[in-house]
Structure 1
Amino acid sequence: MSGKRIGRALTALGAAALATVLAAGVAPAAATASGGVGAPGIGDPYYPDYGNGGYRISHYDLDLDYQPGNDHLAGTATLTGAATQYLTRFDLDFALTTDAVTVNGRRARFERSGDHELVLTPARALHAGQRMVIRVRYHGIPSTVVAEGFTSWMRTDDGAVAANEPEVSWWWYPSNDHPLDKASFAVDVTVPTGYQAISNGILAGTHPAGPGTTRWRWRESRPMATYLTVLAVGHYDLDTSTDAHGRPVIEAYDQGLSAAQARNARASVGLTASVIDWESSVFGPYPFDALGGIVPNYEAGFALEDQTRPMYGLDFFESADDPYVVVHENAHQWFGDSVSVHHWSDIWLNEGFAGYAEWLYSEHVGAGSALSVALADYDAHPADDPLWSVKAGDPGAQHQFSAAVYDRGAMTLQALRNVVGDRMFFTILRTWASKHRYGNGSIPQFEWLAERLSGRDLSRLFDTWLFTTGKPPRSAFHLPAGTAMPAGTPASLPQLRRTHALLAGH
C-alpha cells in the first residue's frame, strides 16, 4: 500500500459493488455543502464518499481496550480540529457501533448513513475557523463488520492486525479518512498482560492498567494519513534498538512464526535501519523519528507502508528472505507517507517511486543496474500483456494497485532519468520529497517540478508512459546515444518480479 501490494482486500462482493458505482459514473461529492451541512466526501474522484467536508482534524487521541479472546474492541476517540465552514451537521468515516458523541463538551445527536458514514449533529452550530473537539465512545467486534463489502481487520490466531489501503480506520476509530487530512496521533491500547499492542511512532511506555491488563502507549507527532495507521495485537517478540542517529528501531515478530519464517523475516526486516540510511542518501533526510516493522503470523497477501512501522504479510518470508519488500515499504516513508497523494488517482507517486527504489537498490548491491532491470522487465511483458492496458497515471479505482502502477510506473522514472541525467534526476526526487514534506502532492505538480528543474518539456514522456495505453516503443526510454545495452538477465530480476507480484496482489 502505498501499498504496494494490494491495499484493498476486496471480497467479490466489494469489487462488484465498486464496479457498479464506477460504471454508473457517480460524480465525486463536493468538499463542501450548502446550508451548514458538511459534505459526506472530501472530493476524491475515485472514492466520492471517503473523507468529509467542512472541517479538518489536527490530532487523534485513541484510548482503546481490546480482548483478543473474543475480538472485542471498545474505545474512546477524541478528535481535535477546526471547522472550515459554518456547520450544523457533518460526517465521520466509521463502521463500528457508536455509543455516545460529544462536540465541544456537549452531547451531539448521531445516526448512521450507509455502512461507513457517521452523521453528527452538534448541539450548537460551529462557525468557520472554530476549534472543535469531537469525542466518540464506541465498541464492536471488528472482524465481523463489513463495509464496502470487506473488512480491513485481520483476525489472527492470538489477536488481530488492522492494516489496509486505502481504508483501515473505519474498523478501529472514527476519522476524516483521506490523505488530504493528515494529523498527529496518540494511541493507548489496553490488552491482557502478556500480549503486545504495536502501533505507529515512538513507544511512550507500558504500564499496568488494572488486574491482568497492560496499557501500551504510542505517539506519532508527525502528520500521518489515516490509512497509514496500524494496530497489531498478539504475542510478539520485540527487537528494539536505536539507529546511528539515535532513533528508536522497533521490529515486532509474531511468536507463532516457524523457525524458517522467523529467520527469513529477521534477515529482511532486520535490514530496516541500513535501508533507511541508504535511502536517506538517495532521497534526502528520513522524515520521521522512529522506524521498524511488524510481521504477524498471517498471510495478508500484501505489505503496507504504515508510517514508521510497515506491516509485512507472512507471504513475503515463507520460502526465503526478501530485502526488496523492505526497500519498497521504507521508500514509501518519503513517497506516500511524508509526501502523500492529493487524490488517489495520484497513486503512481507512491507505488512507481517505491518500485523504482527497489531497482535502485539492485543497482546499489550490484545485482543489476536499474536500467538493466527496466529493460529486462520491459522485454518480459509482450505487447498484449495486461500491464500495458492500464494507465499508470490514472488507473481507476479498480486498478489502483495493478502491476502497471508498480512496473510501468517504475519504467517511467527510468525514462525520466535517461532524459535528464543522473544528477538532475536525483535532484528532482530530493526536491520533491523536501518541497512537499509532511504534505500532499499530485502528478501535475511533479511534472511541473521536473520540467522547471530540468528546463525540458517532458509532457510527451509523461503522456506516453503514464496516460497512454499500449506498450511504448523501446525508443520511449530515451536511451542516451552510445548507451551500452545490458547483457543477460539482472540477478535481481526473479526476486523483484516475485516481490512486485505480491505487492500488486497477483
Structure 2
Amino acid sequence: MAASCAVAVGAPALAADAGPGAPGIGDEYFPGYGNGGYDVGHYDVQLRYQPDEDRLTGTTTVVAEPTQDLTSFHLDFALPPSSVKVNGRDAEFTQDGTELQVTPQDVLQAGSTATFVVEYSAVPSEEDGGETSPWIRTGDGALAVGQPRISAWWFPGNDHPRDKATFDISVAVPDGTQVVSNGVNTDTSTIGDWTTWKWRTTEPTATYLAFMAVGDYDISTREGAFGQQSITAYSTGLGELDGPARASVERTPEILEFLSGLLGEYPVESQGGLVAAEGLSFALENQTRPTYSPAFFRSGANTGVVVHENAHQWFGDSVSLDQWRDIWLNEGFASYAEWLWSEHEGTGTAQELFDHYYAEYPPDHSFWTITPGDPGRENLFDEAVYDRGAMAVHALRNVIGADALRDVVRAWVHSKRNSNGSVGEFIDLAEQRTGRQLDRFFDAWLYTPAKPEPGPDTGIPVPARDAADRPAPPAVAQLDRTHELLHGH
C-alpha cells in the first residue's frame, strides 16, 4: 500500500485518481469472473506441454488498454506464476484461488497500451484454484475445453465473454503428437524431438471459446464453405465411431451454407470441427472449430449437433452474451436452428416439433418452472433453456411471421457482430423492427415460471395443438439424445 501511495503522489496529475481494477467484471451469476479496469486486445499464448506428465509450461503476453488509471489489476488464473512483468518491468503479484492480483511499478494510465507477461509451469489437472478443475487429461494428451470457464487453467486473462480478443496460440509437444486450436494453422515446425503448432484467430474471441486439444489426431485441411479453410480433426482412438463422426462433421460446410441463408454472413474466419475419443461428455462451440464428444455418434450420424454448435458461431461466438443470465440468446437460437434443419431434411417441421414438446410437458412439470430469460446460475444449462428456449423462438415466429423473424435475427447478428448483447436488447430490437409491443409474449415465454397458455399473444394456436396422441416427428429422438448430452456442460 505504501508503495502504491508513493507512486500515486509522485505521478502526474492524470494519475491522481488512480486505483485498483475491480476483481470482477460485474456478472450477476458469476461475480468473480472477469476483471475491471482494462480491455484486452490480444493474447499471445506460448506453451510447451508434456503429455506423459501433464506438465504445462507457458509464457502468455496480454496486450491490453487500461480503461482507468490503474495502481493494480487482476487476471483470472488458476496456475501458479513464476514471474509477472508489466510493460517490461517486474511486477509484484499475489494469488488467491483464480484471482491473480498484479501491482506494477508504475501507474498504468487510461488509454495507454500495456503488456502483461506471465510465466508459469504446472500440472493443470492438479490445480483446483478453489473449484473443480475443468482441464481434461486424456490417455494421449489433454483437452482445454469448457464452459462457462476453462482459460484460467492454461493462460491468464480477463475471463468473461464481455472482453473478447484475438489470439496467437503456439504449443510445443513431443514429435508425433498433434495440437488443434482455433482459427488458422499458421505454421508447424519440428526441432529435435519437439513439434510446435501455431494457430491464429483474427476475429474477437471470448476466453472460454479459445481451446486446445493435444493428442493423436487425424487432421485434414481442405476448402470449405465461402472459400474458407476447413480443418477437421478426429482422434485416432474413435474406433467404430470414426465413421459416423466423419459422416456428421464433414457436412459442416453444407450446414454453414444452410445457416448463412438464415442468419446472414458467416462471421468468423475459419471452420471445421474436432471429435475427441475420451474426456468429453458434451460438445462446445469453440470459435471456428467446435469440439464434440464421441457420445453424440454412438447411434450413428448426428448432423443435429453439428448444426447446433455451428449456429453458435453467430449466436454465442460472434454475438456473445453480455451476462451469463443471457444464455437463452445462445442456446435457444442454436436449438431452434436444429428444428429448422429438421424441416430442411424432412424429419419434422418446426411446428410439429413445437407441438410435440408443448404436449410432452404437462403444466405441473418442472420443465415450466425454469425461465429461459433468467434461469439462475444453477440452471444455466437446463433442458428448458434449450427446448423451452427453442419453443420461444418458434412461438415468436408464429406471432410476427417467418419473414419478420428472419429480419430481426439478421439485424441482431449484423448490429452486434463481434460484440455482446442482452435479452433485453434483443426484445427492444424485435419490437423496433416489427413495430409491435411484445411484452406479454416475452414475459410468458422467458420470464414466467408456468406453461404459456394458447392465444394470439403467446404464438400458440387456439385451441392448443395436442400432439400427445400423434407419433413424435423422427427428429425428436436425435434432438432428445443431443440435448441430454448438451445439458452436461
Using the size of structure 1 for normalisation, the TM-score is 0.90
Structure 1 letter corresponding to 2:485 = L
- Is 1:500 aligned to 2:480, yes or no? no
- Is 1:292 aligned to 2:272, yes or no? yes
Q: Given that residues 359 and 466 in structure 2 are in contact (C-alpha distance below 8 angstroms), is that contact kept between their aligned partners in structure 1?
A: no
Q: For residue 263 of structure 2, what is the aligned residue in structure 1?
A: 283
> Deviation of residue 503 (structure 1)?
0.9
Deviations 1:286-344 (A, max 9, x none): 00111011111115221100000111112112232211000000000000000000111
> Deviation of residue 484 (structure 1)?
9.0
Q: For residue 226 of structure 1, what is the aligned residue in structure 2?
A: 207
Q: For residue 5 of structure 1, what is the aligned residue in structure 2?
A: none
Deviations 1:442-462 (A, max 9, x none): 011100110011111111110
Q: For residue 164 of structure 2, what is the aligned residue in structure 1?
A: 182
Q: Given that residues 55 and 84 in structure 1 are in contact (C-alpha distance below 8 angstroms), is that contact kept between their aligned partners in structure 2?
A: yes
Aligned mates of 1:482, 1:377 — CA distance in 2 = 16
- Is 1:96 aligned to 2:79, yes or no? yes
Please list every run of at least 4 consecutive aligned residues from structure 1 whose deviation after the TM superposition is greater than 6 angstroms. 480-486
Aligned mates of 1:392, 1:109 — CA distance in 2 = 43
Superposed counterparts of 1:211-222, under 5 Å: 211-222=192-203
Q: Given that residues 299 and 315 in structure 1 are in contact (C-alpha distance below 8 angstroms), is that contact kept between their aligned partners in structure 2?
A: no
**Structure with larger RCO (C-alpha < 8 A, sep 6+):** 1
Aligned mates of 2:463, 2:22 — CA distance in 1 = 56
Q: For residue 125 of structure 2, what is the aligned residue in structure 1?
A: 143
Aligned mates of 1:105, 1:288 — CA distance in 2 = 33
Q: Given that residues 445 and 458 in structure 2 are in contact (C-alpha distance below 8 angstroms), is that contact kept between their aligned partners in structure 1?
A: no
Structure 1 letter corresponding to 2:216 = H
Q: For residue 17 of structure 1, what is the aligned residue in structure 2?
A: none
Q: Given that residues 261 and 319 in structure 1 are in contact (C-alpha distance below 8 angstroms), is that contact kept between their aligned partners in structure 2?
A: no
1:325 aligned residue (300, 305, 317):
305
Secondary structure (helix, strand or coil) at the match of 1:457 reads coil
Aligned mates of 2:316, 2:112 — CA distance in 1 = 30
Q: For residue 410 of structure 1, what is the aligned residue in structure 2?
A: 390
Superposed counterparts of 1:26-425, under 5 Å: 36-113=19-96, 115-208=97-190, 210-258=191-239, 260-425=240-405
**Comparing 298-307 and 276-285, the one that deviates more:** 298-307
Larger radius of gyration: 2
> Deviation of residue 35 (structure 1)?
5.5
Secondary structure (helix, strand or coil) at the match of 1:304 reads coil
Deviations 1:72-98 (A, max 9, x none): 000000000111011111100000110
Q: Given that residues 18 and 68 in structure 2 are in contact (C-alpha distance below 8 angstroms), is that contact kept between their aligned partners in structure 1?
A: no
Q: Given that residues 414 and 477 in structure 1 are in contact (C-alpha distance below 8 angstroms), is that contact kept between their aligned partners in structure 2?
A: no
Deviations 1:458-478 (A, max 9, x none): 111100010010211233642
- Is 1:442 aligned to 2:422, yes or no? yes
- Pairs aligned (count): 470
Aligned mates of 1:341, 1:412 — CA distance in 2 = 18
Q: For residue 3 of structure 2, what is the aligned residue in structure 1?
A: none
Aligned mates of 1:104, 1:219 — CA distance in 2 = 23
Secondary structure (helix, strand or coil) at the match of 1:474 reads coil
Aligned mates of 2:172, 2:131 — CA distance in 1 = 29
Identify if the C-alpha distance between structure 1 residues 202 and 76 changes in structure 2 by more than 3 Å, giving closer, same or farther: same
Q: Given that residues 428 and 450 in structure 1 are in contact (C-alpha distance below 8 angstroms), is that contact kept between their aligned partners in structure 2?
A: yes
Q: For residue 8 of structure 2, what is the aligned residue in structure 1?
A: none
> Deviation of residue 480 (structure 1)?
6.2
**Comparing 309-318 and 90-99, the one that deviates more:** 309-318
> Deviation of residue 489 (structure 1)?
2.1
Q: For residue 478 of structure 1, what is the aligned residue in structure 2?
A: 459
Question: Once the two structures are aligned, what percentage of the paired residues are identical?
Answer: 48
Aligned mates of 2:288, 2:63 — CA distance in 1 = 22
> What are the ranges of 5 or more consecutive residues in structure 1 without an aligned counterpart?
1-33
Q: Given that residues 254 and 296 in structure 1 are in contact (C-alpha distance below 8 angstroms), is that contact kept between their aligned partners in structure 2?
A: yes
Deviations 1:190-225 (A, max 9, x none): 0011110110000101011x3211110100000000
**Comparing 294-303 and 81-90, the one that deviates more:** 294-303
> Deviation of residue 130 (structure 1)?
1.6
> Deviation of residue 251 (structure 1)?
0.7
Structure 1 letter corresponding to 2:227 = G
Identify if the C-alpha distance between structure 1 residues 224 and 244 changes in structure 2 by more than 3 Å, giving closer, same or farther: closer
Aligned mates of 2:340, 2:466 — CA distance in 1 = 18
Q: Given that residues 296 and 314 in structure 1 are in contact (C-alpha distance below 8 angstroms), is that contact kept between their aligned partners in structure 2?
A: yes
Aligned mates of 1:438, 1:281 — CA distance in 2 = 19
Aligned mates of 1:95, 1:482 — CA distance in 2 = 55
> Deviation of residue 141 (structure 1)?
0.5
Using the size of structure 2 for normalisation, the TM-score is 0.94
